[in-house]
Copies of this chain bind each other. A is one copy, B any other.
Amino acid sequence: MTEDVFKALADPTRRRILDELAERDGQTLFEICSRLAIKHDLGLSRQAISQHLAVLESAGLVLSRREGRYKFHELNTRPLEHIVTRWLRPDTPEGTP
């Protein structure tokens, strides 16, 4: 559950992937690979990214649909919404000093 969400967010490369999907949804594995290689200097193998995507997917942060030989990935922010409210006090809801 939220257990996997925290573990998924622990890795900086996975967070970069989420950034990439937040910027442009529906990318394939190869697109994400080349984007990460170009925009950031991450020279990671295809399998590395694939495994990261698997972790993100089992955490529910990434949804994928397969079409032909392409697999498109999209970001799902639902699991992110309430993982932190667990510690946030009900007082000072937004900006009430």
Which chain A residues have a beta carbon within 8 Å of chain B's beta carbons?
3, 6-7, 9-10, 12, 15, 18-19, 22, 75, 77, 80-81, 83-84, 86-89
Contact = CB atoms under 8 A, between A and B. Distances in A.
Nearest to A61: B87
A10 B12 contact: no
Copies in the complex: 2
A75 B88 contact: no
The 6 closest A-B pairs by CB, nearest first: A10-B10, A80-B84, A22-B87, A6-B9, A77-B88, A6-B10
Contacts of A80: 84, 87-88
A66 to B, nearest CB: 23
Contact of A18 (B7, B9, B87): B87
